[in-house]
Amino acid sequence: MDVLIDAFGWLADGENWRGPNGVPTRLLEHVELTVASVVIACLIAIPLALWLGHIGKGGTLAINVSNVGRAVPTFAVLVLLFLTPLGLSVWSTIIALILFAIPPILTNTYVGMREVDRDAVDAARGMGMDGMQLLRKVELPLAAPLLMNGVRLAAVQVVATATIAALVAAGGLGRIITSGFGRQDYPQMVAGAMLVAALALIVEGLMEWLQHRLDPMRRARRIRVRRAPDVIEAVTGS
Amino acid sequence: MALFGPSHAATLADNCLVRNEWICPEYVRSRQDEILSALGEHVWITVASMVVGTLVAFGLALVARRWRRLEGWILGSSTVLYTIPSLALFSLLYPLMLSFTGSGLTSTTVIVGLVLYSLTILVRGILTGLDSAPADVRDAAVGMGYGRGRLLWRVELPLALPTIFASLRVAAVSTVALTTVGLVVGHGGLGNLIFQGLRSNFKPEVLTASVLCVVLALVADVVLLGLQRMATPWRRRAA
C-alpha cells in the first residue's frame, strides 16, 4: 500500500502542479482534445444519423458501426495513425478520437429516430408538416434523449481513448501515467490514474446532468404536470 | 567476393522488412514465434477474463435477484467501474495487486481489470435474461413442484440463454480489444507487439498485431455464436 500513500504524496506536492508537465497543463490538454473530438464527431454523426433515421434507411450501417468500433482496439488505431505521415501532428490523435466517438452517437441517434412513435409521425404529416418541420418539431425532440445518451457515451469513450493516446504521442493526463510508467515512478503512475479516473467520472456526471437538462420531453412533462399555471402566465404574459 | 556482393545487396533491397512496409509476409515468417507467443498470451488473458467474469457476474446477478435492494447498488458500482479509462484502471490495480500478490506487473492484474469491465455488461445481461421468463411459465413450473433452485436451473436459465449469450458476445469482443492496454503492466498480448512496433517505428509489426486483434475479436464472436446454437437446440428446431 506504500505506493498508494506515495501517490497521494505526489498529488500533494505543489511542484507537480506547475509548468508544462504540471497537472493543470495536462488537464487542459486532455479537455481540449476531448471537446474538439466530441464536437467534430457530433457535427459528422448527428446530421448523418438524423438523415438516415428520417428516411428510414441505412439501419445496418448505423447499428453495425458500433459493433465494429468495439472490436477494433483504440490503442492499435492510435499507433497505426501515428505511423502514417500525419503522425507527428496532433491531428493523428484527434482523428483517432473522432473515429471512436462517431459510433455511439450514430447508433444511438439512429435508434432514437427509429423509435419515434409512428402515430406521432403520421399525425404530424396529417397536420401538413413537411419533412423538415417533421424532423425539427417531432422527430428530433422525441429522439433527443437517445441522441444525448450517444453523446455521453462518446464523451466518456474519448476521455478514455485520449488517456491511451499518451502512450503514443499526445499530451493529456495520460502523460502523467505513461511517464511514471516509463521511469518506473509508480507513485506518479497511480496519481495520474486517480486524476484520469476522477476526470472520467466528472465528465460522466456532467453529461448525465446535461442529458437530463436538455431532454425536451422532460420539460414538456413538467410543464404539463406541475407547472401548468406558470406556463399560462408566461404565455399570456400576465 | 565480388560475386556475392551484388546479390547480397539485392536481397537487402528486396526485403519488405528493410523497406519497413505495412504488409510484410517476411515479418510474419521470421517472427513467427514472437507473434504466436503474443497471440497465446492474448487468448489466455481473454479466455481467463471471460470465464472468471461470467462466474462472478452470475453470482452477482443471483445476489441481486435474491436481495432486490442490492440490485441498484451492484449495477451502479459496475457502471462506475466501466467509466474509469482502461489505462487508469490497470495503473490503479497495480499497487493493489502488488500488496496482495507481491507483484503488480503480471497478467493477473490485466485479468482482474478485464473482469471488472466485463461485469457491467454481463450482470445486466444475466439479470435481464433471468427476469425475462414469462410469469405463467414460472407459475406452471412452481405448480409442478419446482423449487427455487430447479426453477432457476431448468426454466429461467435456459430461457435466459439468448440474452446471456448476446451480452457474452459484446463482452468478449470488447475484452479482446481492451487486452491490448494491458501492455502498461507488461502483459497486453498483441498490445505488447503494437507498442514494440511503435517504439522501433516498425510498421509490419504494428499492422500484423492490429489485424490479428480484430480477427481474434471476430473469432471470439463466432465461437460464442456457435456455443449459443449448441446450448439452445430448441431454437434451431423452431426456426
Domain boundaries, chain A: 2-236
E strands in B31-84:
none
Is the pLDDT score of B213 beyond 50?
yes
Give the span between the Cα atoms of B86 and B214, in whole angstroms. Answer: 18
Find the Cα–Cα–Cα–Cα dihedral A119, A64, B198, A168, rounded to 10°. Answer: 10
Searching chain B, which residue's CA lies closest to the CA of residue A1?
B99
What is the rounded average pLDDT for all residues in chain A? 88
CA A200 – CA A81 distance, rounded (Å): 24
B85–A82 CB contact, under 8 Å: no
- B50: domain CATH number is 1.10.3720.10
Domain that holds residue B138: 31-231
From the candidate CATH numbers 1.10.3470.10, 2.60.450.10, 1.10.3720.10, 2.60.120.620, the one assigned to the domain spanning A2-236: 1.10.3720.10
CA R_g for chain B: 23
Q: How many angstroms away from the CA of A88 is the closest CA of chain B?
A: 13
- Please give the model's pTM, rounded to 2 decimal places: 0.86
Within-domain flag for B193: yes
Q: Determine, yes or no, domain membership for B183.
A: yes
Cβ(A155)–Cβ(A33) below 8 Å? no
- What cell was used for B126? 444475466
pLDDT tens-place string over residues A16-37: 999 888 999 999 999 999 999 9
Q: What is the pLDDT of residues B19-77, one digit of tens each?
A: 888 888 888 888 889 999 999 999 999 999 999 999 999 999 999 999 989 999 999 99
Domain-located, residue B4: no
In-domain check, residue B113: yes
Torsion of CA A91, A97, A103, A109, to 10 degrees: -90
Residues in A lying within 8 Å of B, measured between beta carbons: 1, 3-4, 7, 67, 70-77, 79-80, 82-83, 156, 159-161, 163-164, 166-168, 174, 177-178, 180-181, 186, 189-190, 192-194, 196-197, 200-201, 204
Residues A33-53 pLDDT 10s: 999 999 999 999 999 999 999
Q: How many CB atoms lie within 10 A of CB A116?
A: 20
Please count the residue pairs, one from chain A and one from chain B, whose beta carbons lie less than 8 angstroms apart.
132
Number of domains in chain B: 1
Asked if the structure places residue B81 within a domain, the reply is yes
Q: Residue B187 above 80 pLDDT?
A: yes
- pLDDT surpassing 60 at residue A6: yes
- Is B45 inside any structural domain? yes
Name the residue in chain A with its Cα closest to that of B85: A160
Distance CA A10, CA A4 (A): 10
Best B46, B87, B114 residue to mutate vs chain A (most A CBs within 10 Å): B87
Cβ-defined contact of B194 to A181 (cutoff 8 Å): no
Strand, helix or coil for residue A58: coil
The number of residues in chain B equals 239
User: Cα B200 from chain centroid?
Assistant: 28
